[in-house]
């Protein structure tokens, strides 16, 4: 598992448990054993289930852990996601962190799946964005992929995306593109006016980001591009509008809502004494 994910789990446990779970220590005899299971209380696309292994291992381990479903599985209400047997205190102190990860990541995966369904039958693919929870980007992008969409760049380090402020700082569209070529990295450029679109194409741009257009405007701009560059559409695209944008002929649509506005799924943990 990626070190960033291990670190995120470690920080989450430290944040919640701190110097110890005083309630469990006060109420539950040391050495008492229990079993528990995670229950889906609504239909969802699952994500984050592999984190259960890491969470319990960081707190001393459990006797048994059965992951009954995997990331990307579509599950119904009433389905048991995973079951665990171990020290009652361990199960209790890990409960909230485990649920926080499962609920949040399954929410991202479930919303991503809805977006993917909305563009079926078109050539367009849905991308996520960098609008993620600080410190959880790798997990949230994995959840988005589990829901069936395509990951955009991970960060500022793995691909070039020239946006309007970069263009202003570079001195123009052509200057920004020509300077960026030396990096050898994939280059995408945002254009917001017809003049910028024409200048980008004349400068040899091969990946365009068309931002904040209506579906009608986007269809017209895609027609002007005419296959000379890959086209991505962005800007306020949601479940209600994504189909209209996908039908413009664009190659991609990106939606920040997948990670910044996904709601937590309803998952519970039930504990029973052995």
**Residue of 68, 125, 163, 192 marked catalytic:** 163
**Residue of 68, 130, 131, 192 marked catalytic:** 131
**Residue 190: active-site member:** yes
CB atoms within 10 A of CB 174: 16
Give me the residues paired with residue 161 across strands: 188
Taking alpha carbons only, the member of 223, 227, 166, 165 closest to residue 194 is 223
**Residue 141: active-site member:** no
Task: Enter the DSSP assignment of 21.
Answer: -
**Residue of 211, 219, 247, 266 marked catalytic:** 211
Taking alpha carbons only, the member of 227, 259, 33, 25 closest to residue 128 is 259
> What tokens does 249 get?
């002929």
Taking alpha carbons only, the member of 153, 176, 134 closest to residue 11 is 134
**Residue of 80, 96, 125, 192 marked catalytic:** 96
**Residue of 128, 140, 190, 196 marked catalytic:** 190
Taking alpha carbons only, the member of 272, 267, 274 closest to residue 81 is 267
Q: What residues act catalytically? A: 96, 131, 163, 190, 211
């Amino acid at each position: 598992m990626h070190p960033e994910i291990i670190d995120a789990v470690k920080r989450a446990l430290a944040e919640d448990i701190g110097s110890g779970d005083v309630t469990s220590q006060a109420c539950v005899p040391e050495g008492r054993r229990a079993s528990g299971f995670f229950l889906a209380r609504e239909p969802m696309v699952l994500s984050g289930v592999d984190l259960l292994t890491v969470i319990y291992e960081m707190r001393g381990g459990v006797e048994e852990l059965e992951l009954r479903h995997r990331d990307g599985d579509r599950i119904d209400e009433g389905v048991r996601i995973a079951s665990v047997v171990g020290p009652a205190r361990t199960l209790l102190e890990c409960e909230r962190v485990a649920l926080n990860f499962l609920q949040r990541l399954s929410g991202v995966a479930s919303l991503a799946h809805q977006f993917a369904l909305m563009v079926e039958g078109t050539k367009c693919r849905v991308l996520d964005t960098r609008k993620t929870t600080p410190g959880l980007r790798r997990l949230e992008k994995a959840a988005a992929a589990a829901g069936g969409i395509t990951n955009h760049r991970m960060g500022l380090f793995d691909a070039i995306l020239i946006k309007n402020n970069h263009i202003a700082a570079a001195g123009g569209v052509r200057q920004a593109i020509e300077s960026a070529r030396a990096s050898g990295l994939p280059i995408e450029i945002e254009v917001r006016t017809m003049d910028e679109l024409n200048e980008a194409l004349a400068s040899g741009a091969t990946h365009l980001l068309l931002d904040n257009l209506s579906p009608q405007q986007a269809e017209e701009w895609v027609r002007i591009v005419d296959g000379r560059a890959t086209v991505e559409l962005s800007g306020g695209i949601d479940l209600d509008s994504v189909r209209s944008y996908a039908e413009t002929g664009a190659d991609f649509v990106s939606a920040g809502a997948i990670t910044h506005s996904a709601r937590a799924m309803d998952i519970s943990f039930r504990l029973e004494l052995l």
